[in-house]
Amino acid sequence: MSETLRILSWNVNGLRAAAGKGFTRWLGRSGADIVGVQEVRALPDDLPSGLQPKTLDGRWHVHYQPAERKGYSGVGLFSRRKPDALETALGARRFDCEGRLQIARFGRLVVVNGYFPNGNGKDRDNGRVAYKLAFYRTLFERVEGLRRSGYRVLVMGDFNTAHTEIDLARPKGNKNTSGFLPRERAELDRWLAAGWVDSFRHFEPGPGHYSWWSQRMGARERNVGWRIDYVLASPAAMRFVRSAFIQHQVRGSDHCPIGVEIDAAALGRSR
């Protein structure tokens, strides 16, 4: 095993579409040990053959958790090592039916791959904010339990919230937009107050770093974006984090990959 582990997260905005834009090639060249993807938007059997578990067997252990609603949500996990355990439910049907979660344990390290809800309703009226915050709180209780059990926990994925004003290019114009509402930002405040560490901000305190850009009006080329993808580390896990990064140069989605490198000693011994 290498001395460090490379763990990546990417909202692929449809894995079938991303496959046509080089996702499989990126995956093979990523140098990653664990990759979590969000917004898969496909049933496993509908994915290209190159992304089927049987095709990747021997190179990756692969698990997909789709939503019940076809073409919506869904997460996927690729790992060089088979997880010791894998869970996909929070125990509440209103969350579990949307395929938003994978909790993978590798020894004493737990990697949570989450696709947090967007607060926009059907008419972009913030109608799903209450649902979104309920998901945050329910997952928070779950991962706090893992912390208390002695695990080193990383929670990664598309959180659909920009935390502070430096996490989006135009904060003043988005104060009433889901993704930057005070009550959404306060939920991230609560996680950090409880000891969770925004790994990227631990290493990079400056502005201008984003992970999502609108596909309209050349927003990406002008770097008019939002940082809404995170790897949050529990205090015990953060001791092993050596770096955190955003791969803004990687195309194939309206998001870009993010990740961390951690000391492989974080795995510890399996229980």
Q: What is the pLDDT of residues 83-107, one digit of tens each?
A: 999 999 999 999 999 999 999 999 9
Rounded mean pLDDT, 112-126: 90
Tokens linked to 97: 């039916």
Question: What gap in Å lies between CA 37 and CA 109, rounded to an integer?
Answer: 18
Rounded mean pLDDT, 135-158: 98
Rounded mean pLDDT, 224-253: 98
Question: What gap in Å lies between CA 118 and CA 100, rounded to an integer?
Answer: 12
The band of 57, judged by pLDDT with boundaries at 50, 70 and 90, is: confident
Q: How many other β-carbons are positioned within 10 Å of the β-carbon of residue 37?
A: 30
- 104 torsion bin: left (phi>0), alpha (psi -120 to 50), beta (else): beta
Quote the number of domains for the chain: 1
Tokens linked to 199: 């790994």
Q: Lowest mean pLDDT of 10-14, 56-60, 183-187, name the range.
A: 56-60
Q: Lowest mean pLDDT of 6-20, 48-62, 165-179, name the range.
A: 48-62
Q: Residue 27's pLDDT is what?
A: 97
Of residues 212, 111, 132, 207, the one with CA closest to residue 167: 207
Identify any residues that bridge with 165 across adjacent strands, giving them in sequence order: none
Of residues 35, 45, 79, the one with CA closest to residue 60: 79
| Residue 83 CA, distance from chain mean position | 17
Q: Residue 270's pLDDT is what?
A: 44
- Look over the chain and give the mean of its residue pLDDT values, rounded to a whole number: 96
Does the pLDDT value for residue 271 go beyond 70?
no
Residue with the bigger pLDDT between 124 and 20: it is 20
Q: Residue 2's pLDDT is what?
A: 54
Annotated catalytic residue, options 33, 45, 158, 198: 158
Radius of gyration over every alpha carbon of the chain, rounded to an integer in angstroms: 17
Q: How crowded is the C-beta side of 219, counted as CA atoms within 13 Å?
A: 15
Does the pTM of the predicted model rise above 0.95?
Answer: yes
- Identify the domain containing residue 153 by its residue range: 4-267
Percent of all residues in the chain with a pLDDT value above 70, rounded to a whole number: 98
Rounded mean pLDDT, 103-119: 98
CATH number at residue 110: 3.60.10.10
Question: What gap in Å lies between CA 77 and CA 245, rounded to an integer?
Answer: 19
Active site residue 198: no
* Beta strands per DSSP E along the chain: 4-11, 34-38, 61-65, 75-79, 85-87, 101-106, 109-115, 152-158, 197-198, 212-213, 225-226, 229-233, 241-246, 258-263
Helix (H) or strand (E) holding 131: helix 129-148
pLDDT tens for 23-52 read: 999 999 999 999 999 999 999 999 998 898
Q: Residue 269's pLDDT is what?
A: 65
Q: Distance from first CA to last CA of the chain, Å, rounded?
A: 19
Of residues 181, 270, 179, the one with CA closest to residue 225: 179
